[in-house]
Structure 1
Amino acid sequence: MSDVLHDKTVGPVVTGPRAWAFDRPVGRRGYCWWYLDALSDDGKHGITIIAFIGTVFSPWYALARLAEGGTGGDPHDHCCLNVVLYGTPSRWAMTDRRRHALRRDADHLAIGPSALSWDGTTLTVNIEEVTAPIPSRLRGTVRLHPAALSTRRFTLDTHGRHEWQPIAPRSRVEVELESPTLRWSGAAYFDTNAGAAPLEQDFRGWDWCRAALPDATAILYNAQRRDGSEISLALRATDDSALTDFAPPPEFELPRTLWRLRRPTRAEGPARVTRTLTDAPFYSRSEIHTRLLGRDAAAVHESLSLDRFRSPLMFAMLPWRVPRPLR
């Protein structure tokens, strides 16, 4: 069974700074994350930043949820700022931190020494992290300037436990890093996901894609639910904050990754992978060339297998990439 979601919103409509909602409640075994990605105008660099409360891909949080007869897991005791640089230089940081590292209100979110803040027009991310598995400093500032804010939220599962909000699909970003030394600007995207249950409980996997076009950003979100049903979203975001549905394009299968992970997507014509940004056993992020809304476009694409993630083998591999301080 497949769903194409039209005009499906949940929760109150929010405007202004409350669209960021850094202080939203996160329940036991749940999660909330804020996701930013950007590619430089010259095509040489990229960045992804994800602020987690309840680090969904942390082996430490997964083990905590198994405690107390499978009902454990305090998301506030597993939070992190995941920062990934693509191109040269490349870097990865994802430190799973304890609850004393978390401080937040409606417009500010601090996780350890790093922080996000919203001043009414700009999202500023101050990064102070240590990379893994080889330790080095990752320090600097990223500023996101949204063209507009969207207030639509979408439920992703049949039980209403998981939701997604594309907050600022059309944005510009300025990256100014001190360590490593790097400066660039480019088109960016910003959204948030939240849930009241582990992802792997309700989903087998999903693929997502966003393509920045001259007059709009096309967003695709396809998820395979654990109950056998599916959801396929196709959205067009414009600079006036409108977020409208369009008919999902035909399915298209991109080449598998080196880990043999599938990379399904939807496109109006042939699509191809131009650069694999992240290649992990259960997750991939790629830069692709596709066709959406009648135009050829460069796009960011991700594919996630939660069947693979829930494998015990993943819990043995992930600590090398997701360290956790002793206190």
Structure 2
Amino acid sequence: MRGKARIIPENLNVEAFQLDARGSHVWQPVAPRARVEVELAEPALSWSGTGYIDANTGRESLEAGFAEWQWSRAHLSKDTVVFYEGVRCDGSAFDLALGFDASGTARRVEAPPRVMLPRTGWRVPRSTRAEDGQATVLKTWEDSPFYARSTLATRMFGESALAVHESLSLNRFRHPLVKAMLPFRMPRRG
């Protein structure tokens, strides 16, 4: 593969969110909405669409702090909505339901009801937030023993939307068999 990828933020957010009481894990949605342009020379392909930039930082590894999480992001007509929730290793839960306006400013929003999604091919549990139980997995792009990334058709805040969704099981990631598999390429679906 040879080419260029450009990510052009449409807005920027300066606020970061602690994911635990000790401040060992911090998440920042840097650009809740961005334009993505990809131009490849080999193979000769091009693509453009919407994207997102975030960052997780911390004083310890993710598996030291979390058992699992569910994350999703949808671009609505005016706002970007992100749901980020999970369970820490101590058994306590965290959840963020955020809306970002055109300037990137975050505000708390009321999360729609939880919707259970079908488990992945590796049987990783998945859930999301959506109005009236309206969420469907359209395509799973990455499916590994501990992680899945999918596109969802969903409904939230009165709008139909496409959402990017992640399920992460760090309990599975910690398993010695999964750790032994990490040096080998986990197949991606394309």
* TM category, shorter: over 0.9
2:108 aligned with 1:245: yes
User: In the alignment, which residue of structure 2 is the partner of 1:291?
Assistant: 155
2:85 aligned with 1:257: no
Which ranges of 4 or more aligned residues in structure 1 deviate by more than 6 Å? none
Gaps of 5+ in 2: none
Give, in whole Å, the separation in 2 of the partners of 1:231 and 1:249.
16
Question: Does the Cα contact within 8 Å between 1:232 and 1:248 map onto a contact in 2?
Answer: no
Q: Report how many aligned residue pairs link the two structures.
A: 185
2:140 aligned with 1:276: yes
Task: Give the TM-score of the pair, scaled to structure 1.
Answer: 0.55
Deviation at 1:179, TM superposition (A): 2.4
User: In the alignment, which residue of structure 2 is the partner of 1:212?
Assistant: 75
1:294-324, Cα deviation, whole Å (9 max, x unpaired): 21111100000000000000122111128xx
User: In the alignment, which residue of structure 1 is the partner of 2:184?
Assistant: 320
Report SS of the residue matched to 2:171. Answer: helix
User: In the alignment, which residue of structure 2 is the partner of 1:156?
Assistant: 19
Give, in whole Å, the separation in 1 of the partners of 2:86 and 2:42.
37
Deviation at 1:247, TM superposition (A): 1.1
User: In the alignment, which residue of structure 2 is the partner of 1:146?
Assistant: 9
Amino acid at match of 2:63: E
1:57-100, Cα deviation, whole Å (9 max, x unpaired): xxxxxxxxxxxxxxxxxxxxxxxxxxxxxxxxxxxxxxxxxxxx
Amino acid at match of 1:245: R
Amino acid at match of 1:166: P
Q: Percent identity?
A: 50
Gaps of 5+ in 1: 1-137, 323-327
Deviation at 1:273, TM superposition (A): 0.3
Q: Answer 1 or 2: which has greater strand percent.
A: 2
Larger deviation: 298-307 or 153-162?
A: 153-162
Larger radius of gyration, structure 1 or 2?
1
Report SS of the residue matched to 1:320. Answer: coil
User: In the alignment, which residue of structure 2 is the partner of 1:308?
Assistant: 172
1:130-166, Cα deviation, whole Å (9 max, x unpaired): xxxxxxxx32211111112110100011221000100
RMSD: 1.2
Task: Give the TM-score of the pair, scaled to structure 2.
Answer: 0.93
Report SS of the residue matched to 1:164. Answer: strand
Report SS of the residue matched to 1:228. Answer: coil
User: In the alignment, which residue of structure 2 is the partner of 1:191?
Assistant: 54
1:268-288, Cα deviation, whole Å (9 max, x unpaired): 222110111111010000000
